[in-house]
Amino acid sequence: MTGAHVLNMAASTTAVGANPVLNLGMFIGFVAVTLYIVHRVSSGNTTTSSYYAAGGEFTGGQNGIALSGDFLSAASFLGIAGGIAVHGYDGFVYSVGWVVAWLVGLLLIGEMLRNTGRFTMGDVLAYRMRQRPVRVAAAASTLLISYFYLLAQIAGAGGLVSLLLNITSKLGQSLAIVVAGAIMILYVLIGGMKGTTWVQIIKATLLLLCMALITVFLLGRFGFDLSDILGQAVQHNSLGAAILTPGTLYGKNELDFVSLALALVLGICSLPHVLMRFYTVPNAKHVRRSLVWAIWSMVGFYFCTLVVGYSATALVGSDAIVHAPGGENSAAPLLAYAIGGSVLLGLVSAVAFATILAVVAGLTLTASVSFAHDVYASILKRGLAEPRKEVRVARLTAVTMGVLAIFGGILVNGRNVAFLVALALALAASANLSTLLYSLFWKRFNTPGALASIYSGLGSCMLLIIFSPVVSGASTSIFPNEDFHWFPLSNPGIVSIPLSFVCGWVATMLGSRRENPAKQTEMEVRALTGIGSGLPS
């Protein structure tokens, strides 16, 4: 295939990046406005509570929008719309998991987490356990998951730049990653949790409005007939009618898909940066309200994505999408250009950039808080850290994380890193969910059990992914020329999630240690009622 020629042709005929100046202008506008707001809302930020959890001052509604913002990352905004446009139904099946997963947060985790903890997942897991080992494990899990998720997002920034600004040189893309990383670090340093939450709220509102308007417009254009959109999509997709049924994307390995679906539905509400969002509201009732808002906006958003995805095929055609710079990810921008010209394209591009910035800022903040609170303050300083110093450590960690993410992002730019999101979700579902559920609902659960479920989840996920087709033995692998894989699935969840539950149970039963019963009683009462948490009722 004469790649460059096709690329050029696609770029000139479909005019993606037709107006990089406009795209760039809108993007700079967004950054300027948000930086100003971040600066305004975050006076001081010297106490741990305000820097880590925005003082718990957000309302349920605000936090709900921010929560959905955490999930409307570039991967799910551009990725799922593109997945539906190119692969049809299998892209849609993927989006269902992103909605249903919120029930885990609503029913099982959210309110009890808010009642029990203060800043991090470690607060809850270590509540009635031996502090040091459990906090180290919780921090290890948080840092690992956040870094993988961060890497996936920031590597996506390179591809997005090539798509939206027509920057195709590796150097130019690396520069774009550096700039994006630097802005992200600024948000976190200046804004702390309050600032990053506001960035998330602004971005999510823009994105939701944008998608809703485009969807209404599209539905109007097709006479509010979903079947008509599907029909046109079938005509303009090279896969034909196959895009209406399952199997185009995941048909080759069904078990792999089941494994992915399991990790999605159990992992999303166990991601550290989502757990941390539950601490930014005053009490458990506001957590409930946040989740209600988040579920409404996710349901609305993914319905819109279904319409936008199939419409993109119907109006742009799957060949044009696949061959445009950016591939699948270009479906939504191309559609925006087709229906709204360069202004709408500019708007969608700016929102897509904003999405990456906001999500990576949240991730960086989460990782830095976990390090400062769980490792520095609780372990190194044995709970006697001065708040100002602790916040300084958090800021330093944020810069370190940011720089690591920039380097990592440049290193993996252009490689297929889509598996990183799935890996982060599998890690969260394996290491965090089992340990959280046991801590909250099983009295006998003890320190050996907690350590076993966290480390078995982390360890088995990492081990299985290393020996999976993701790393070696397939043409799409990271090392396509080597073959040391023996695990047949690209998603380890179906093995590692049950394994961590079993390990947690076995280690608890074997470990003769009984944790402090008074502490256990305290946690049980506090989780359900919030009594003793000092939270306003």
Partner 1 sequence: MTLATDSSGRHSVAPSHEQYLFDTDEHGGRGPDFAAIRGSAEFALLRRRSRRFIFPVSALAMAWYMTFVLLAAYDHPFMSIQILGLINMGIVLGLAQFLSTVVIMLLYCRYAKRQLDPALEAVRARAGRAS
Site for partner 1 in 377-396 (CB under 8 A): 377-378, 382-383, 387
Residues 335-374 touching partner 1, rule: CB under 8 A, are: none
Q: Of 179-187, 268-276, 471-479, 527-535, which part binds partner 1 (CB under 8 A)?
A: 527-535
Contact residues for 434 (Cβ-Cβ < 8 A; gap 6+): 453, 457, 497, 500, 501, 504
Q: Is 68 in the site for partner 1 (CB under 8 A)?
A: no
- Asked if 84 contacts 229 with a C-beta cutoff of 8 angstroms, the reply is no
Question: How many residues bind to partner 1 according to rule CB under 8 A?
Answer: 80
Among 26, 99, 369, 420, binds partner 1 (CB under 8 A): 99
Of 319, 406, 321, nearest to 360 by C-alpha is 406
Q: Which is nearer to partner 1, 64 or 79 (CB)?
A: 64
Out of 257, 337, 371, 438, name the contact with partner 1 by CB under 8 A.
257
Subset of 307-336 contacting partner 1 (CB under 8 A): none
The reply on whether position 430 binds partner 1 by CB under 8 A is no
Nearer to partner 1, 161 or 390 (CB): 390
The residues, any chain, with a CB within 8 Å of residue 448's CB and separated by 6 or more, are 507, 508, 510, 511, 513
59 binds partner 1 (CB under 8 A): no
Torsion of CA 99, 74, 478, 268, to 10 degrees: -30
The residues facing 479 across adjacent strands are 472
Is residue 49 near partner 1 by the rule CB under 8 A?
Answer: yes
Q: Does 535 bind partner 1 (CB under 8 A)?
A: yes
Residue 246 as a binder of partner 1 (CB under 8 A): the answer is: yes
- Answer for the pair 324, 11: CB distance below 8 angstroms, yes or no: yes
Looking at beta carbons only, is 172 or 247 nearer to partner 1?
A: 247
Which stretch, 177-185, 248-256, 470-478, 481-489, contacts partner 1 (CB under 8 A)?
248-256
Residue in the block written with tokens 């551009």: 78
Residues pairing with 472 in the sheet: 479
Determine which residue in the list 74, 185, 186, 230 makes contact with partner 1, applying CB under 8 A: 230
Residue 222 as a binder of partner 1 (CB under 8 A): the answer is: no
Work out whether 498 is an interface residue with partner 1 (CB under 8 A).
Answer: no
282 binds partner 1 (CB under 8 A): yes
Minimum gap (Å) between residue 285 Cβ and partner 1? 8
According to the binding rule CB under 8 A, does residue 532 interact with partner 1? yes
Closest approach of partner 1 to the CB of residue 108, in Å:
6
Contact 515, 128 (CB under 8 A): yes
Q: With binding defined as CB under 8 A, does residue 534 bind partner 1?
A: yes
261 near partner 1, judged by CB under 8 A: yes
Interior/surface letters 129-142, b for 16+ CB within 10 angstroms, e for the rest? bbbebbbbbbbbbb
Report in angstroms how near the CB of residue 190 gets to partner 1 at its nearest. 20
| Tally of helices (H runs) and strands (E runs) in the chain | 25, 0
147 binds partner 1 (CB under 8 A): no
The distance of closest approach from Cβ of residue 237 to partner 1 in the complex, given in angstroms and rounded to an integer, is 13
- CB nearer to partner 1: give 101 or 183: 101
Please report whether residue 46 would count as binding partner 1 according to CB under 8 A.
no
DSSP 268: G
Cα distance between residue 471 and residue 255, in whole Å: 18
In whole angstroms, the minimum distance from the beta carbon of 427 to partner 1 comes to 20
Query: Which of 139, 144, 157, 234 forms a contact with partner 1 (CB under 8 A)?
Result: 234
Told to check if 67 binds partner 1 by CB under 8 A, we report: no
Does 258 contact partner 1 by CB under 8 A? yes
Q: Does 93 bind partner 1 (CB under 8 A)?
A: yes
φ, ψ of residue 347 to 5 degrees: the values are -65, -50
DSSP 244-256: GSTTTTTTT-HHH
Contact region with partner 1 (CB under 8 A), list: 48-56, 192-200, 388-396, 456-464: 48-56
Residues 506-525 that bind partner 1 (CB under 8 A): 516, 518-519, 521-522, 524-525
- With 0-12 / 13-18 / 19 or more C-beta atoms within 10 angstroms meaning exposed / middle / buried, residue 21 is exposed
* E strand spans, 375-447: none
Smallest gap from Cβ 379 to partner 1, in A, equals 8
**Pair of tokens at residue 371:** 């390090």
How many whole angstroms separate alpha carbon 218 and alpha carbon 231? 14
Residue list 117-146, contact with partner 1 (CB under 8 A)? 117-118, 123, 126-127, 131, 135
Is residue 83 within 8 Å of 94, Cβ to Cβ?
Answer: yes
Determine the angle formed by the axes of helices 419-427 and 447-466, rounding to 10 degrees. 160
**Rounded distance between C-alpha atoms, residue 356 and residue 344, angstroms:** 19
**Contact flag: residue 227 with partner 1 (CB under 8 A):** yes
What is the separation, in whole angstroms, between the first and last Cα of the chain?
65
Answer for which of 103, 209, 216, 510 binds partner 1 (CB under 8 A) is 103
Q: How far is the CB of 215 from partner 1 (least distance, A)?
A: 14
Hey, CA dihedral for 322, 323, 324, 325, is it positive or negative? positive
Give the interface segment with partner 1, choosing from 140-148, 176-184, 244-252, 504-512 (CB under 8 A).
244-252
- CB contact set of 377 (below 8 Å; sequence gap of 6+): 48, 383, 385, 390, 393
**Helix intervals (H) in 268-386:** 272-277, 284-316, 318-323, 331-370
Q: For residues 288-307, which are near partner 1 according to CB under 8 A? A: 288, 291-292, 295-296, 299, 302-303, 306
Judged by CB under 8 A, does residue 449 bind partner 1?
no
